Amino acid sequence: MNQSYDVVIVGTGAAGLYCALNLPERLAVCVITKQGAEDSDSFLAQGGMCMLRGEGDYADYFEDTMRAGHYENNQKTVDLMIRSSNYIARDLVRLGVNFTGKPGGGFDYTREGAHSRPRILFHEDATGQEITGTLLRRAQERDNITIAEHTTMLDIASEGNVCGGVVLSDEDGEIRLLEAGDVVLACGGVGGLYQNSTNFPHITGDALAIALRHGIAVEHLDYVQIHPTTLFSRTPGRRFLISESVRGEGAVLRDQNGDRFTDELQPRDLLSRAVKEKMALEGSEFVWEDLRPIGKQKILEHFPNIYEHCLGEGFDVLREPIPVVPAQHYLMGGIRADLAGRTSMDRLYACGETSCNGVHGRNRLASNSLLESLVFAQRAADDIAFRHDAPVHPACQVDLGRYADQEGLFSSYRETILHEIERSDTK
Ligand SMILES: Cc1cc2nc3c(=O)[nH]c(=O)nc-3n(C[C@H](O)[C@H](O)[C@H](O)COP(=O)(O)OP(=O)(O)OC[C@H]3O[C@@H](n4cnc5c(N)ncnc54)[C@H](O)[C@@H]3O)c2cc1C
């Protein structure tokens, strides 16, 4: 790692990698990540990525996104995301992503909750791994992109309201200032702050705490999505998601008597509420999800990883229902970002789950987040590449000694975010 780059990107998820790949090769880019390059929530995505299926689908796709978001969405960003989706899908295929196709040719599409029709591209039940793994391989091939693993952003460095780099702890534990003409925060959500979450535990909203401390505008930190169906477990750690496309393909929820009790395809927040209410009424720790209506062949073809994982936990989904429970899944709020991913601090961008451009409103529609991450990561890259002003490297004075107690620093970040989530809770 050098001491200075044109662009430093924090995060090797779909947003960070796609931003890096969309920057011109003349720019020296460093992408840092807290853990291994594959340890991001983007790799965990199961269900898929939404795509507009022709102009005839536009009104329905727009309405589905708005309805799931309780009409609090930013209509401009929703429009932009939907209209960019065909280009993004084509670009991913160009980069080498293998979406599942129909036997006769063309993409196959699956459906998830709150979608009025199938419009989700997928690769078995491991779409995130297929997309993000491909992006990672392409980024590793590029001479202008350095990927620094086990390198943690501790803070941003700024002078006035201009960002000039990041303070980090590198893989040897050395605390350094990495100077940058532009910084892109693509640090994912906040799941690591919760006891029950589908997210990686190291994804703890660090960028949000840093933004709050620097007075950078954030929005709706209380808009936290709870996924209705994760595999029930008494073992601590990450919760295993049972993808919504399982319900989209026919799985049903049952109470302790084996009876269906709700519409399985309603938006996530409403379904999570229905599941929690049923659990409270029954005094149970979970409800049952029955995959058998999907049929053996489709389960094995479309959901091989879910099938194998459940088998490893002692449940054969071909023969019996599995216990499921809601868990924290996604953050709709985040660092306020405009259509180009610009934040309220100059030369500081945010994209992916860390950012909030209003596209999801109060509740995200299933499979809109990979797409949103990619669309706005590309727009941030375009803004950096094409804007008319010359890069500045403000000389940032940083007392690196302040960051020696990293445990204390991250515990205070955690408190800052949890306090803000509670303070801004309007529900
Ligand atoms: C189990 C699961 C299933 C999902 N299924 C789907 C789906 O089917 N479709 C869909 O659209 N979405 C899905 N999502 C949501 C989607 O995967 C994420 O919202 C999206 O991928 C976020 O991408 P990102 O690049 O913003 O962040 P992430 O992929 O979470 O990446 C964050 C990166 O930031 C790094 N980082 C964080 N803090 C620091 C720091 N301080 N210093 C250095 N690095 C840092 C992390 O190490 C990581 O590399 C799913 C999510 C989960 C958890």
Distance 269 CA to ligand 1 centre (A): 20
Mean pLDDT, residues 98-118:
93
Confidence of residue 388 (pLDDT cuts 50, 70, 90): confident
Question: pLDDT tens, 173-220?
Answer: 999 999 999 999 999 999 999 989 999 999 999 999 999 999 999 999
Q: What is the pLDDT of residue 394?
A: 76
Q: What is the pLDDT of residue 107?
A: 96
Which of 61, 120, 149, 187 maximizes ligand 1 atoms within 8 Å of its Cβ, making it the mutation to test the pocket? 187
CA dist 61 and 77 (Å) reads 13
Which of 31, 40, 155, 367 maximizes ligand 1 atoms within 8 Å of its Cβ, making it the mutation to test the pocket? 40
Mean pLDDT, residues 83-95:
98
Task: Please identify, by atom number, the ligand 1 atom nearest to the C-alpha of residue 122.
Answer: 8
Task: Please identify, by atom number, the ligand 1 atom nearest to the C-alpha of residue 329.
Answer: 53
* Interior angle at CA 336, CA 168 and CA 1, nearest 5: 20
Residue nearest atom 50 of ligand 1, based on CA coordinates: 45
Q: What is the pLDDT of residue 93?
A: 98
Cβ-proximal residues to 378 (8 Å cutoff; 6+ apart), any chain: 18, 19, 22, 84, 88
- The DSSP bridge partners found for residue 30 are 8, 146
Task: Please identify, by atom number, the ligand 1 atom nearest to the C-alpha of residue 352.
Answer: 26
* Domain extent listing, the chain: 4-223+332-423, 228-328
Question: Does pLDDT of 159 surpass 90?
Answer: yes
Mean pLDDT, residues 89-111:
96
The DSSP secondary-structure symbol of 235 reads S
Q: What is the pLDDT of residue 395?
A: 82
CATH fold group of domain 228-328:
Flavocytochrome C3; Chain A, domain 1 (3.90.700)
Q: What is the pLDDT of residue 389?
A: 75
Confidence of residue 427 (pLDDT cuts 50, 70, 90): low
Question: Does pLDDT of 303 surpass 60?
Answer: yes
CA trace torsion 11, 16, 21, 23 (10° rounding): -100
Mean pLDDT, residues 276-286:
97
Task: Output the average pLDDT for the chain.
Answer: 96
Residue nearest atom 31 of ligand 1, based on CA coordinates: 13
Active-site residue among 111, 138, 239, 268?
A: 268
Question: pLDDT tens, 30-76?
Answer: 999 999 999 999 999 999 999 999 999 999 999 999 999 999 999 99
Distance 13 CA to ligand 1 centre (A): 5
CA-based nearest residue to 225, from 198, 261, 254: 198
Mean pLDDT, residues 77-101:
98
Q: What is the pLDDT of residue 426?
A: 64
Q: Which residues line ligand 1 (CB under 6 A)?
A: 10-16, 32-35, 39-42, 44-49, 127-128, 152-153, 186-188, 198-199, 202-203, 206, 241, 330, 352-354, 367-370, 373
Cβ-proximal residues to 79 (8 Å cutoff; 6+ apart), any chain: 62
Distance 187 CA to ligand 1 centre (A): 7
Q: What is the pLDDT of residue 278?
A: 97
Task: Please identify, by atom number, the ligand 1 atom nearest to the C-alpha of residue 151.
Answer: 43
Task: Please identify, by atom number, the ligand 1 atom nearest to the C-alpha of residue 47.
Answer: 8
**Residue 26 corresponds to which amino acid?**
R
Confidence of residue 425 (pLDDT cuts 50, 70, 90): confident
Distance 190 CA to ligand 1 centre (A): 10
Distance 186 CA to ligand 1 centre (A): 9
Question: Does pLDDT of 294 surpass 70?
Answer: yes
Q: What is the pLDDT of residue 424?
A: 87
Question: pLDDT tens, 126-158?
Answer: 999 999 999 999 999 999 999 999 999 999 999
Which of 8, 17, 21, 41 maximizes ligand 1 atoms within 8 Å of its Cβ, making it the mutation to test the pocket? 41
Residue 176 a catalytic site member: no
Distance 15 CA to ligand 1 centre (A): 8
Tokens 């690769």 — which residue?
123
Give the tokens for residue 113.
Answer: 């909750």
**Residue 184 corresponds to which amino acid?**
V
Distance 281 CA to ligand 1 centre (A): 34
Residue nearest atom 10 of ligand 1, based on CA coordinates: 367
Mean pLDDT, residues 12-37:
98
DSSP codes, 39-101: -SHHHH--S-EE---SGGGHHHHHHHHHHHTTT-S-HHHHHHHHHHHHHHHHHHHHHT----B
Q: What is the pLDDT of residue 48?
A: 96
CA-based nearest residue to 20, from 166, 143, 103, 118: 143
Buried b (16+ CB within 10 A) or exposed e, 120-158: bbbbbbbbbbbbbbbbbebbeeeebbbbbebbbbbbbbb
Q: What is the pLDDT of residue 184?
A: 98
Mean pLDDT, residues 294-318:
97
Domain 4-223+332-423, second-level architecture: 3-Layer(bba) Sandwich (3.50)
The three-class DSSP label of residue 243 is coil
Residue nearest atom 26 of ligand 1, based on CA coordinates: 352
